Amino acid sequence: MNTRHAVILAAGYGSRLNPTEGHKLLATIGSRPLLEHHLANFAALKVDRVVVVTGYEAADLREAVHRFDPPGSMEVQCVHNDDFDAGNGISVLTGADALGDPPPPFWLTMSDHLFEPGLFDGLNARIGAVIDERTEGVLLIDRKLDRIFDMPDANKLRLDGEFAIGKQLDEFDAVDIGLFWCGPGFVEALRREKNARGDCSTSDAVRRLVKAGRFAFFDVGEALWQDVDTPAAREHAEKLWQQWD
């Protein structure tokens, strides 16, 4: 399975991190901005087109993105989400619309997440092994609950028993690492949710597709990651990167 497109959600305020670099996508870990980490990871997946969805400080971020020299022949495009105060599903729809109608399959990640580079070794094939012709989305998950740096802020999942997803779950057995594989049906699930209540999030699409039997989960095993959304989390991410680099 080769998925040649990717979307980075970078529309939020990043107020809890408040990086000196300006936008959170430009915050450096290991002397490299998060954007550069993401592009390197997508290059390892043979992605050749990346859409960055902007919102807050869009003009500054767009200018900074255009200054980057992406790896190989990768094309990086910025598209703006005017409604960036809404749920993150609106940003996904903005990015998907830029990819085409219907959109091709694409990788999806949050701008402020850092992943161990080894996670991406052979990931196309490993994800391909957990999907079938009905699968319209895959969420990468982590069951190493004792290794989660900021559990109260983690998006939690209950996979054993009645499915549930959300930050406020009391009973859960995995967390969302902020990395998805999305088929056209993932986008359609977001559109249906938006039409139903005027807003949508990635968790809404997961719920709808799980209920329809069209979603899969991929456990990252021993691979590590970090949501870089506070100064303390950024410090922890720096320590992780020193181990990986």
- pLDDT at site 14: 72
- pLDDT at site 71: 94
Contact status, residue 228 vs residue 37, Cβ threshold 8 Å: no
Look at residue 95 and give its three-state secondary structure.
helix
Helix intervals (H) in 68-178: 88-99, 123-128
Count of the separate structural domains present in the chain? 1
Which CATH number is 59's domain given?
3.90.550.10
Spatial distance between the Cα atoms of 134 and 138, rounded to a whole number of angstroms: 12
* Regions of the chain with pLDDT less than 70: none
Spatial distance between the Cα atoms of 85 and 100, rounded to a whole number of angstroms: 24
- pLDDT at site 179: 98
- pLDDT at site 148: 97
Contact status, residue 212 vs residue 130, Cβ threshold 8 Å: no
- pLDDT at site 16: 80
Mean predicted lDDT score pLDDT of the chain:
95
- pLDDT at site 234: 95
Please report where in the chains the tokens 């729809």 appear, as a residue: 93
List CB contacts of 105: < 8 A, sequence separation 6 or more.
3, 5, 181, 182, 183, 184
Instruction: Report CA-CA distances (Å) from 109 to 39, 46, 82, 195.
Output: 11, 16, 19, 24
For residue range 70-115, what is the model confidence (pLDDT) as tens digits?
A: 999 999 999 999 999 999 999 999 999 999 999 999 999 999 999 9
Q: Hey, what are 79's tokens?
A: 């598209």
List CB contacts of 219: < 8 A, sequence separation 6 or more.
140, 141, 142, 143, 174
Q: Which of 138, 219, 136, 210 is nearest to 173 (CA)?
A: 219
Containing 7, the helix (H) or strand (E) segment is strand 5-10
- pLDDT at site 35: 97
Q: Which of 239, 208, 228, 204 is nearest to 88 (CA)?
A: 204
Range of the domain at 98: 5-244
List CB contacts of 241: < 8 A, sequence separation 6 or more.
29, 30, 114
